[in-house]
Chains A and B, each alone.
Chain A
Amino acid sequence: MTTKTFLHGKPIDDVIECHEHVSPVSLYVKVLLSLFVLTGLTYAVSFADLGPASLWVAMIVAFGKATLVAMFFMHLKYDDRYHGFVFLSTIIFVAIFFLFPIFDLNSRARLNEEQGTFFRVNQAGDWNEAQRTNKGQVEAEAKAAAEAAKDAAKAPADAKAVAPAKP
């Protein structure tokens, strides 16, 4: 019994065919020059003050370069599409892997603020200094000690205030 097999939507006889494609040298040279241009672009853009957009610009250019390398140097454009499927499914799983922690980190500050549950040491003051001297902890300890002393001073007074009423 024979089964009809399809590849890229066309019936084929040989199911174990390996696809080959010899690209012209000029194509490789063009890809290399494009990669150099894109590298120069990211390098130049890094000196411009783009603020938060700089990460996006750098990532878009990096994805462009990666696409050129994968399509032409790694032959994915001409290759058996199954190899592209393996590659793209990896990228999709990496995207899922990145999505949840990054979503969490970017949204938890708002949630914490809303519920008043969490404090970051560096929200106010000099984070650098706080790190070097453990300022946050030192301050917290000093505050706790001061409060304890205040309570201790208050306690006899309270005792006195309460004491006369007792007998």
Chain B
Amino acid sequence: MSSAHGQGPKAPHAFFQHHYNTVEQQAGAAKLGMWVFLATEILMFSGLFLAYFIIRILYPEMVLGSHELLSKTMGGVNTVVLLFSSFTMAMAVRSAQVGDTPGIIRNLIMTIGCACIFMVVKYFEYTGKFAHGIFPGKYFDYGRAAAYAAEHGHELVGMPHIFFGIYFTMTGLHGVHVAVGIGVLVWIMLRAKKGHFGPQYYSPVENVGLYWHIVDLVWIFLFPLLYLVK
């Protein structure tokens, strides 16, 4: 496999900034900055994950009773969609590395498409919950939610509004990240159309890719914890 690494220093490109010594230094600085940002993202989500574990330890019956109301199928479809989008994102970065601009655009369009499918499924999940009085926190309608649970042969136990508060906060914050992801993916797709990226310069594609993979990583943990675990 041909690799730019080991072929000597790269020639300066159009986006090479004067305060860097070499093209590689600029790319390395951008990537390290992205990793530090991703670390803060992980730490932010970790607070919500800990909140989930705390309510799970304190009120196991409540978590088990409430999570039955989430659709495993919808969650599963979204997992497959996000994993596939991570693959197309990795392929977009690869296309940039080998200088295949149409490949970058094609893979980014597929990634954006998957992100949109994810949001549409999420929309149906949320409205499906809202229709039965399942709102976060104090807006939770116990009577309607209990009737809905009974219809499906489940029983609400304890304080399900706390579980759904965690559910809406975690998936909501994750959804915000997907929405922001769609924005930055469109931005780099437009730049790719202008022919900005190639083996010499693809930091934005790579860093947006890292961000997109972190969004996927968070979902990899959210899906089993919220939808599947007994």
What are the interface flags for A68-99 relative to B under an 8 Å C-beta threshold, 1 for contact and 0 otherwise? 01101110000110110011011101100110
Asked whether, in the complex, the Cβ of B229 is within 8 Å of the Cβ of A54, the reply is yes
Asked whether, in the complex, the Cβ of B213 is within 8 Å of the Cβ of A69, the reply is yes
Complex Cα gap A98–B50 (Å): 6
Q: Which of B98, B156, B216 contacts A128 (CB 8 A)?
A: B156
8 contacts between A and B (CB under 8 A): A23-B1, A24-B1, A28-B90, A65-B220, A72-B90, A87-B39, A101-B50, A127-B157
Chain B residues touching A, range: 35 or more
Q: Does A105 contact B (CB under 8 A)?
A: yes
Q: Which residues of B contact A (CB under 8 A)?
A: 1-5, 9, 21-22, 24-25, 27-28, 31-32, 35-36, 38-39, 42-43, 46-47, 49-50, 53-54, 57-59, 61-62, 72, 76, 79-80, 83-84, 86-87, 89-91, 94, 97-98, 142, 155-159, 209-210, 213, 216-217, 220-221, 223-225, 227-230
- Interface contacts beyond A14-B24, A73-B87, A98-B50: sample of 11 additional A-B pairs, CB < 8 Å, sorted by A: A32-B83, A42-B228, A43-B76, A54-B229, A59-B224, A69-B86, A69-B213, A73-B216, A83-B35, A91-B42, A101-B53
Which chain A residues border B230 with CB–CB below 8 Å? 46, 49-51, 54
Main secondary structure of the interface of A (DSSP, over half): helix
Asked whether, in the complex, the Cβ of B90 is within 8 Å of the Cβ of A73, the reply is yes
Main secondary structure of the interface of B (DSSP, over half): helix
In the assembled complex, how far is the CB of residue B83 from the closest CB belonging to chain A, in whole angstroms?
5
Chain A residues touching B, range: 35 or more
Asked whether, in the complex, the Cβ of B217 is within 8 Å of the Cβ of A69, the reply is yes
Asked whether, in the complex, the Cβ of B72 is within 8 Å of the Cβ of A46, the reply is yes
Known: A93-B43, A98-B46, A101-B54. A25 touches B24 (CB 8 A): no
Q: Which residues of A contact B (CB under 8 A)?
A: 14, 16-25, 28-29, 31-32, 35-36, 39, 42-43, 45-46, 49-51, 54-55, 58-59, 61-62, 65-66, 69-70, 72-74, 79-80, 82-83, 86-87, 89-91, 93-94, 97-98, 101-102, 105-106, 122, 127-128, 131-132
Known: A23-B94, A46-B72, A87-B39. A97 touches B50 (CB 8 A): yes
